[in-house]
């Protein structure tokens, strides 16, 4: 940890967004003694986890004038991380066997995650810091401070000055659409997973789902329940790939990526197979987007790289006044919010110092060079699941907080392997009971649970 150079100071800090990142960040900032205002465009906390049957008015979300929704959650979604690993470290995501409205499963549904975030906000009195239905429309540096312009739902604009701004606006709302040669003349329907909610509109259709990671694997199986045929296109697969996947409806196939889409409705895969499809569902990820940020071109987004960001958090020339919580894509998400925001809070109070802007830039360039050397494309700059524990522990040491538990890293890594190998069953069949036990024993040792670990272990089976 870098030693404090200055006396500890309290700052006036704006947090943008009251999703999981924003509520966790505001707790850490207040714990460190800062005064905090959280801006949230919606009426409640939860961000992505506030499910709505509504979706963008443009199913591909390309039209800039479309009406937008924030959430990308589909009705059948269950978590892709086990609950022991998902929760914040001093507020575990415990099953509530006593409450019928809750989902006690190890990989619960999306409503349970929202309930957990609401519980967290209630427990730590986060809502008193939040201005709901208030959208941040502009953030800019002014004489060493930060001007935040916000708009109330009635259209009323307000300008306020802060010492610092922490951006927690999420990055699963602005779809990334893969280009398919010939798609302009292809006559079928197209939708991005951001706008997918339920399978019903695909009844009896032939559907091509592009992408086979967490959402693609879920959505293809969801649609297979009602569709005639579902064909997954995966660029991670060898060009010759053509496999039948076992599902009860016997109607799901895996292909390599798409070669072309044609005017006659056909889709040609790189494996040479041709299907005449009614719909394409793009499960092709999301883009970073900070439409309110005005940094005179200093901060750029290029091929999903937000640059320059020191350790994915601080833009060197604008730090510590501007910081980002939640940019990396990894499995241990809520704990990442917790550790990154503890670092931001400690740097803002002066308890921890950052290297000079030049040194931070050196570190960023070394990171880019290491990605180049490994042949990792620019778009994966912030995809750091493979080094998540190492990264989080580096940040944790920097701000002097507890390191990430061994069981947490192992659970998430093991869950990821199960997801890849058995996407249809990984949430209900596992082989890491000893890690669950270790997790609950750990919660018990830290006095975070009121029952004996056996209560959770026995009821959860
Ligand atoms: P969000 O939840 O998106 O919150 C951002 C908030 O900022 C929103 O409330 C939004 O209204 C607000 N906002 C945005 N712009 C403005 C503005 N200009 N002014 C005011 N407010 C603004 N993670 C897991 O740990 N486990 C999982 O199982 C899991 N499953 C996932 C499934 C899907 C389909 C997706 C897309 C992601 C999943 N994730 C999962 C990752 C997910 O990103 C995190 O769980 C987390 O909830 C994201 O929190 P966030 O606060 O960064 O963003």
Model pLDDT, residue 188: 98
Which of 25, 26, 39, 48 most suits a substitution to test ligand 1, by most atoms within 8 Å of the C-beta? 48
**Would you give the distance in Å from CA 380 to the centre of its chain?**
14
Which ligand 1 atom minimizes the distance to the CA of 21?
51
Distance 20 CA to ligand 1 centre (A): 7
Q: What is the pLDDT of residues 17-66, one digit of tens each?
A: 999 999 999 999 999 999 999 999 999 999 999 999 999 999 999 999 99
Which ligand 1 atom minimizes the distance to the CA of 23?
51
Distance 332 CA to ligand 1 centre (A): 14
Q: What is the pLDDT of residues 323-357, one digit of tens each?
A: 999 999 999 999 999 999 999 999 999 999 999 99
Q: Please give the Cα distance from 139 to 292 (Å, whole number).
A: 6
Distance 295 CA to ligand 1 centre (A): 24
Atom 27 in ligand 1: residue holding the nearest Cα? 79
Distance 91 CA to ligand 1 centre (A): 19
Model pLDDT, residue 6: 56
Ligand 1 pocket, residues with Cβ under 6 angstroms: 16-22, 39-42, 47-49, 70, 72-73, 79-81, 86, 135-136, 168-170, 172, 215, 292, 326, 333-334
Distance 263 CA to ligand 1 centre (A): 37
Distance 413 CA to ligand 1 centre (A): 21
Which of 74, 333, 427 most suits a substitution to test ligand 1, by most atoms within 8 Å of the C-beta? 333
Model pLDDT, residue 7: 63
Which ligand 1 atom minimizes the distance to the CA of 137?
18
The series of mean pLDDT values per 10 residues for the chain, 461 residues long, is 64 98 98 98 98 98 96 97 97 95 97 98 98 98 97 90 98 96 98 98 98 93 98 94 95 97 98 98 97 96 97 98 97 97 98 98 98 97 95 97 96 94 93 96 96 88 63
Distance 21 CA to ligand 1 centre (A): 7
Angle at 179 (CA atoms; ends 173, 184), nearest 5 degrees = 110
């Amino acid at each position: 940890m870098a030693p404090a150079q200055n006396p500890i100071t309290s700052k006036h800090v704006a947090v943008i967004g009251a999703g999981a990142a924003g509520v966790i960040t505001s707790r850490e900032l207040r714990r460190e003694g800062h005064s905090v205002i959280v801006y949230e465009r919606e009426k409640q906390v939860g961000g992505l986890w506030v499910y709505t049957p509504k979706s963008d008015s443009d199913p591909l979300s390309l039209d800039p004038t479309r009406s937008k929704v924030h959430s990308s959650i589909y009705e059948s979604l269950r978590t892709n991380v086990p609950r022991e690993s998902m929760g914040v470290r001093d507020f575990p995501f415990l099953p509530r066997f006593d409450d019928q409205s809750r989902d006690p499963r190890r990989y619960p549904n999306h409503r349970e995650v929202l309930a957990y975030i609401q519980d967290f906000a209630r427990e730590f009195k986060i809502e008193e810091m939040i201005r709901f239905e208030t959208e941040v429309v502009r953030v800019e540096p002014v004489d060493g401070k930060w001007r935040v312009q916000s708009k109330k739902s009635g259209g009323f604009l307000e300008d306020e000055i802060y010492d610092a701004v922490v951006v927690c606006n999420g990055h699963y709302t602005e779809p990334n659409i893969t280009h398919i040669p010939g798609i302009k003349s292809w006559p079928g329907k197209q939708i991005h997973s951001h706008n997918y909610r339920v399978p019903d509109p695909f009844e009896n259709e032939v559907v091509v789902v592009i992408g086979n990671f967490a959402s693609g694997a879920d959505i293809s199986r969801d649609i297979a329940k009602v569709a005639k045929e579902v064909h997954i296109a995966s660029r991670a697969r060898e060009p010759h790939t053509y496999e039948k996947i076992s599902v009860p409806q016997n109607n799901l196939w895996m292909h390599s990526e798409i070669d072309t889409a044609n005017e006659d409705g056909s889709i040609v895969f790189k494996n040479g197979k041709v299907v005449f499809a009614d719909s394409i569902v793009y499960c092709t990820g999301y883009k970073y987007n900070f439409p309110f940020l005005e940094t005179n071109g200093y901060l750029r987004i290029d091929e999903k790289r937000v640059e320059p960001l020191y350790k994915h958090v601080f833009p060197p020339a604008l730090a510590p006044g501007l910081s980002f919580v939640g940019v990396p894509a990894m499995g241990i998400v809520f704990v990442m919010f917790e550790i990154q925001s503890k670092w931001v809070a400690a740097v803002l109070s002066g308890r921890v110092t950052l290297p000079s802007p030049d040194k931070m830039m050196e570190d960023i360039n070394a990171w880019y060079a290491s990605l180049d050397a490994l042949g990792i494309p620019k778009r994966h700059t912030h995809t750091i699941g493979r080094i998540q524990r190492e990264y989080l522990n580096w940040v944790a040491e920097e701000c002097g907080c507890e390191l990430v538990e061994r069981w947490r890293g192992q659970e998430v890594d093991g869950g990821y392997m199960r997801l890849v190998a058995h996407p249809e069953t990984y949430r209900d069949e596992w082989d890491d009971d000893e890690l669950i036990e270790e997790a609950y024993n750990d919660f018990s040792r830290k006095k975070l649970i009121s029952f004996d670990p056996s209560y959770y272990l026995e009821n959860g089976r």
